[in-house]
Structure 1
Amino acid sequence: MPNANNDFLAPQSERTSQPTSALSQVQRRAVGELLRVSPVADDLARRFQEAGFTLALVGGSVRDALLGRLGNDLDFTTDARPEDVLRIVRPWADAVWEVGIAFGTVGCKKDSFDIEVTTYRSEAYDRSSRKPEVSYGDSIEQDLVRRDFTVNAMAVALPQKEFIDPHNGLEDLAARVLRTPGTPEESFSDDPLRMMRAARFAAQLDFEVAEDVVSAMKAMAERIDIVSAERVRDELNKLLLGAHPRKGLRLLVDTGIADRVLPELPALRLESDEHHRHKDVYEHSLTVLEQAIDLEEDGPDLVLRLAALLHDIGKPKTRRFESDGRVSFHHHEVVGAKMTKKRMTALKYSNDMIKDVSLLVELHLRFHGYGTGEWTDSAVRRYVRDAGPQLRRLHKLTRSDCTTRNKRKANALSRAYDGLEERIARLQEQEELDSIRPDLDGNDIMQILGVAPGPAVGKAYKYLLELRLENGPMERDQAVAALQEWWATQS
């Protein structure tokens, strides 16, 4: 970035509550990050300037630059209306999309950068509507005051590199605290989803949330009901995929917002788990989530994280106080799988994700029947068959579900699961467990039995599959004989 230096990132206000070294550190990071994107950003800014408009890098892009984590997604704001933005970017960009144009946003791609240019705007919710009302603004100050948090209400005007920070976002960034540009009540009234964003940013950035913001979230929790399920789901996903999801989830529960968007989670707080090793199942579930994250291999895994968070939500409905003083939760995994499906459906998750997460919740206790390794090969085959493509995630979820403080017991469980995984690996090598099928296919069955396609073929296939699971692979003549013997009993 030509002529870039630390001075251009000095906050406009002289007031500062942070040591100079803390501010200068984030300033130096910002310069380095902005240098990297300067050629594309400056080129685009000059085009807007030549057309008589202004352009500024804004919001999360400035925040992430200051944190030293700016990616290739760049957000800009401008006084140009969407039709003018289209006219400017179309000859310049590699691709342009208009999916957000109703909200004043034009998207485009240039080289390796994904860019969004949004017209200065303000938006608010009508109490009877699930969609924000959008109106365009005339100044960047007007645009910044409507943003969710001060750390997202900073901008760098281009190409002159003027740092704009009317709400002291730089100070809050250095202090790692989330505040709103105006009052929290005004901000959350404009867009109630910002209450969930507070929890999401706490999880993503490990920031603290200002007390007045938390108080407003508690007082206005019911306002989240007006937000569409899709927007709530997307914020929940971003929270769960953050580096510190426990922090964000706690905030949702403590403010009462979780009671309205994920009530199964706070319902766990009063339910002691059957091991009596944790304060409650709520704390246990958050610990399982963190332990599952530690086992991830290829980056954040939303399916695994959802399954870890929800795996015990069936316990409140199945809790029983036994005559010997114990507390039981019989079949909570089955009940929990049904509850998971219902909640995820309400939040508009895809059918595939609902199926995968529900299956993991349903199977998360299956291993505990393994004991000291007395499972037959048939039981191991069924374990693999039932898990299907989710077997690797089931391994991680099951291991994560051990939160006992008893090291001897924890080590014994770990060794037992090591043994199960070794047995699975041996059987997979011998029998191709990942694609368990009967030794005869549908065409073989029809030819051998002399029947046409119909229910009888399906019943025969199912019988042969059970034989395959029980006995392992069979020679063809053995399979034919078994099929004919079974068919004789059917007639």
Structure 2
Amino acid sequence: MIDSDKMREFAETVVSDLTSAGYQALWAGGCVRDQKRQESPKDYDVATNATPDQVRTVFGHKRTIAIGEAFGVITVIGSKTTGNIEVATFRADASYSDGRRPDSVRFTDAKEDALRRDFTINGMFFDPINQQYIDFVNGEADITAKLIRAIGDPHTRIEEDRLRMLRAIRFASTFDFEIEADTYAAVQANADKISAVSSERILLELSLILNNANRKRGLRL
């Protein structure tokens, strides 16, 4: 059974080990958002300038799984109480011809990695060693304002992955946030394109919307 304190300690250790090896490593995405909202993260993701091969060298091939290596993602295996940690190399995405995943990626720095993410609340980093937030997208301000805002052009973000329309609704209903006006307009304008997303992915998002306390608001959105 996962222990939240031990999971956090393991996530800190992963960052510490990468940092000690000479790389930049930060917590990224939802765990940073949850921590900023003073909630306990359900899991932790690490972003780094180490390449997948370098990550595997730091932790050893027996302790890592190269599940998403083509996209710069390596899983570091933990224990039954800590769970595993996904370590992703900072990346920029090429075009999304299938409206789901990038055709290719190139490795880059933390700022460009933040700018390719979906919403500002998910685009922040946290350095657990120095206890410092790194926010290139004003995610902290939008958490304070209770806004779901696409990073950059909302139409572009949705064209990249149409499921982001449902994710915007899920985050807004789960956190009791508003969807920022331009982002909501893009969701409405692209709503008919949701059919490009697989039924499995749609059903998963819908189940997450329906299984939270604000499900009625999610359905209204």
Return the offset for 1:53. 1.5
* Aligned match for 2:140, one of 154, 170, 175: 170
Q: Residue 82 of structure 2 aligns with which residue?
A: 113
What is aligned with 1:246? 216
Task: Kindly indicate whether the alpha-carbon contact (under 8 Å) linking 1:79 and 1:120 is maintained by their aligned counterparts in 2.
Answer: yes
- Give distance in 2, aligned partners of 1:43 and 1:239: 33
Pick one of 103, 125, 133 that aligns with 2:71: 103
**Contact 1:202/1:244 (CA < 8 Å) preserved in 2?**
no
For 2:163, the equivalent position in structure 1 comes to 193
TM-aligned CA distance change 1:215 to 1:249, over 3 Å? same
Q: TM-score, normalised by structure 1?
A: 0.41
| Matching of residue 62 in structure 1 with residue 32 in structure 2 | yes
Task: Give 1:120 deviation, angstroms.
Answer: 1.3
Contact 1:153 1:165 in 2 (8 A): yes
Equivalent residues of 1:57, 1:157 under 8 A apart: yes
Which residue in 1 is equivalent to 2:12?
42
| CA-CA distance at 1:60 after TM superposition | 0.3
| Identical residues among aligned pairs (%) | 33
Instruction: Give the match for residue 211 of structure 1.
Output: 181
- Give secondary structure in 2 for the equivalent of 1:147: coil
Question: Structure 1 CA distance, aligned partners of 2:109 and 2:199?
Answer: 32
Q: Tell me how large the CA RMSD over aligned residues is.
A: 2.5
Q: Given that residues 149 and 181 in structure 1 are in contact (C-alpha distance below 8 angstroms), is that contact kept between their aligned partners in structure 2?
A: yes
Q: Distance in 2 between matches of 1:73 and 1:128?
A: 28
Post-superposition Cα deviations, 1:279-315, rounded to whole Å, max 9, x if no partner, equal xxxxxxxxxxxxxxxxxxxxxxxxxxxxxxxxxxxxx
Structure 2 distance, partners of 1:63, 1:171, is: 12
Q: Which runs of 5+ in 1 are unaligned?
A: 1-33, 252-491
The whole-number CA distance in structure 2 between the counterparts of 1:249 and 1:128 is: 27
Q: How much does 1:108 deviate?
A: 3.0
Paired residue type of 2:82:
F
Which residue of 1 is the match for residue 21 of structure 2? 51
- More deviation in 200-209 or 219-228? 219-228
CA contact (8 A) 2:158 2:165 kept: yes
Deviation of residue 85 (structure 1)?
Answer: 1.8
Q: Are the aligned partners of 1:131 and 1:227 in contact in 2 as well (CA < 8 Å)?
A: no
Residue in 1 aligned with 2:49?
A: 79
* Count of equivalent residues: 216
Change (3 A) 1:221 1:181: same
Deviation at 1:129? 6.0
- Per-residue deviation at 1:228? 2.5
TM-score by length of 2: 0.85
Contact 2:96 2:161 in 1 (8 A): no
Cα distance in structure 2, aligned partners of 1:66 and 1:203: 18
Which residue pairs with 1:227 in the alignment? 197
Q: What is the CA-CA distance between 1:131 and the residue it aligns to?
A: 4.1
- How far apart, CA to CA, are the structure 2 residues paired with 1:59 and 1:130? 18
Asked which structure has the greater CA Rg, the reply is 1
- The CA distance in 2 between the partners of 1:88 and 1:206, in whole Å, is 41
For residues 203 and 37 of structure 1, what CA distance do their matches in structure 2 show?
27
Shift of 1:161: 2.9
Aligned pairs for 1:392-403 (under 5 A) are none
Q: Tell me by how many angstroms 1:83 deviates.
A: 2.2
Say if 2:99 and 2:162, in contact at 8 Å, map to a contact too.
no
Measured against aligned partners, the alpha-carbon deviations of 1:384-416 in whole angstroms (never above 9, x if no partner) come to: xxxxxxxxxxxxxxxxxxxxxxxxxxxxxxxxx
DSSP-derived class of the 2:86 partner: strand
Distance 1:38 1:234 in 2: 26
